């Protein structure tokens, strides 16, 4: 049951156009069905009531017109009266009976002189001298009216009328009602289709515009409508413009903040470079001061002289091994060794 309810809900809510069309179809179907049922019911009641009055009126007319002929037992006169009613619409039979149910006159002359012994006819044996509805249903009506002479009950005038014409008329009215119902439903479906198309096209346009807005495109929600859908589109457009203004404002603020940040970073880099250079100069100054201090001490002078002597010895060895030694180079090396040796000894003592 729950599954069917979910399927029905899914089917109903899947499309606004479908809801509109089904709603109009159901409304037309229900209203037209009620109208047709009520119309057919009223028509049926009216026609049955009319046929009943006609049958009673005909039976009473026959009873009045035939009383003298029945009293005189004039069978020819009675037959003429009966035959005069043969053109009455849907009449099946008309007859005169005496109080013992003997047929005095009948539209079917073969029945004259016979006694009626069916159950319906036998009810007249005990019936009061008044108009009796022997049979009254949707297909047939049978009426018996008393024949009176000097306030004495001398027989019955009886008529049977078919209601086939009424049945056919009711069927015709019902068929036309069904036709008009279907026609109204078709017209309603067409009208609902145009209405739903008019609405859903603009709804799809709004949905498409919303998707484009989500994708970052510039869109316009405005619809050329004066109804609630147009008002909603105008509200969307106003909201879109407000959001666009906010985005532009925030973008400008972010851009300005980025520019300030870049400027600050540039200034920090310059300051950093200046600090690095300052640190380098400070370190170099300290190093130079230390070297100068070391050089100015006796031990530092001795170490320096020894280092210089080592370098000169290496250079002299290289020249000697190359075989390009000159006398002047040897003399110069000896003088340098003597000077450096003197420096070392004088500073270490």
The residue to which tokens 């009626």 are assigned: 116
CB 93 within 8 A of CB 159: yes
Least confident of 83-97, 119-133, 161-175, 318-332: 318-332
Q: Is the pLDDT of residue 161 over 90?
A: yes
pLDDT value at 154 more than 80 = yes
Mean pLDDT, residues 152-164 taken together: 93
The pLDDT value recorded for residue 109 is: 86
Q: What is the DSSP letter of 102?
A: B
- Length of the chain equals 349
| Residue 50 predicted with pLDDT over 80 | yes
Say whether pTM exceeds 0.85.
no
Report which of 17, 130, 147 is spatially closest to residue 94, judged by C-alpha positions. 147
3-state secondary structure at position 135: strand
Residues 6+ apart with CB under 8 A from 300: 293, 294
CB 61 within 8 A of CB 88: no
Q: Kindly state the DSSP code that residue 274 receives in the 8-state scheme.
A: H
Q: What is the CA radius of gyration of the chain?
A: 65
> Is residue 155 scored above 90 in pLDDT?
yes
Using CA atoms, how far apart are residues 197 and 28, in angstroms rounded to an integer? 19
CA distance 17 to 197: 7
Ramachandran area for residue 147 (φ above 0: left; ψ -120 to 50: alpha; else beta): beta
The 3-class SS string of 30-60 reads HHHHHHHHHHHHHHHHHHHHHHHHHHHHHHH
- Convert 224-259 into a string of H (helix), E (strand) and C (coil): CCCCHHHHHHHHHHHHHHHHHHHHHHHHHHHHHHHH
The H-or-E segment that residue 156 falls in is: strand 152-162
pLDDT of residue 331: 73
Q: pLDDT per residue over 272-319, tens digit each? A: 888 887 777 777 666 655 555 555 566 666 667 667 767 777 777 777
Mean pLDDT, all residues of the chain: 80
Q: Assign domain 14-182 to a CATH class.
A: alpha beta
pLDDT greater than 90 at residue 262 = no
State pLDDT tens for residues 108-133. Answer: 888 999 999 999 999 999 999 999 99
pLDDT given at position 170: 87
Q: pLDDT by residue (tens digit) across 86-116?
A: 888 889 999 999 999 999 999 988 899 999 9
**Distance separating alpha carbons of residues 296 and 10, to the nearest angstrom:** 101
Q: What pLDDT score does 157 carry? A: 95
Output the pLDDT for position 348: 61
């Amino acid at each position: 049951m729950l599954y069917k309810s979910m399927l029905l809900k899914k089917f109903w809510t899947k499309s606004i156009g479908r809801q509109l069309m089904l709603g109009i179809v159901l409304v037309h179907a229900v209203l037209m069905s009620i109208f047709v049922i009520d119309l057919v019911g009223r028509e049926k009641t009216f026609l049955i009531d009319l046929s009943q009055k006609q049958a009673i009126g005909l039976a009473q007319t026959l009873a009045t017109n035939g009383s003298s002929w029945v009293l005189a037992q004039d069978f020819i006169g009675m037959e003429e009266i009966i035959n005069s009613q043969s053109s009455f619409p849907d009449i099946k039979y008309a007859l005169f009976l005496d109080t013992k149910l003997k047929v005095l006159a009948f539209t079917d002359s073969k029945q004259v002189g016979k006694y009626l012994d069916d159950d319906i006819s036998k009810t007249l044996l005990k019936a009061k001298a008044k108009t009796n509805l022997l049979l009254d249903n949707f297909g047939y009506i049978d009426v018996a009216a008393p024949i009176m002479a000097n306030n004495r009950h001398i027989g019955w005038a009886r008529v049977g009328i078919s209601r086939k014409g009424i049945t056919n008329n009711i069927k015709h009215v019902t068929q036309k009602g069904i036709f008009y119902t279907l026609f109204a439903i078709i017209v309603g479906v067409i009208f609902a289709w145009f209405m739903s198309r008019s609405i859903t096209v603009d709804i799809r346009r709004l949905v498409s515009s919303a998707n484009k807005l989500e994708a970052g495109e510039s869109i316009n929600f405005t619809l050329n409508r004066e109804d609630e859908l147009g008002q909603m589109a105008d509200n969307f457009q106003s909201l879109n413009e407000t959001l666009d203004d906010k985005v532009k404002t925030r973008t400008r603020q972010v851009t300005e903040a980025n520019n300030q940040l870049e400027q600050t970073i540039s200034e920090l880099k310059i300051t950093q470079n200046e600090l690095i250079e300052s640190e380098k100069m400070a370190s170099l100054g300290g190093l130079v001061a230390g070297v100068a201090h070391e050089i100015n001490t006796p031990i530092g002078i001795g170490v320096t002289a020894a280092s210089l002597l080592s370098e000169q010895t290496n250079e002299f060895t290289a020249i000697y091994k190359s075989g390009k030694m000159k006398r002047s180079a040897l003399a110069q090396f000896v003088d340098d060794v003597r000077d450096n040796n003197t420096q070392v000894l004088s500073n270490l003592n």
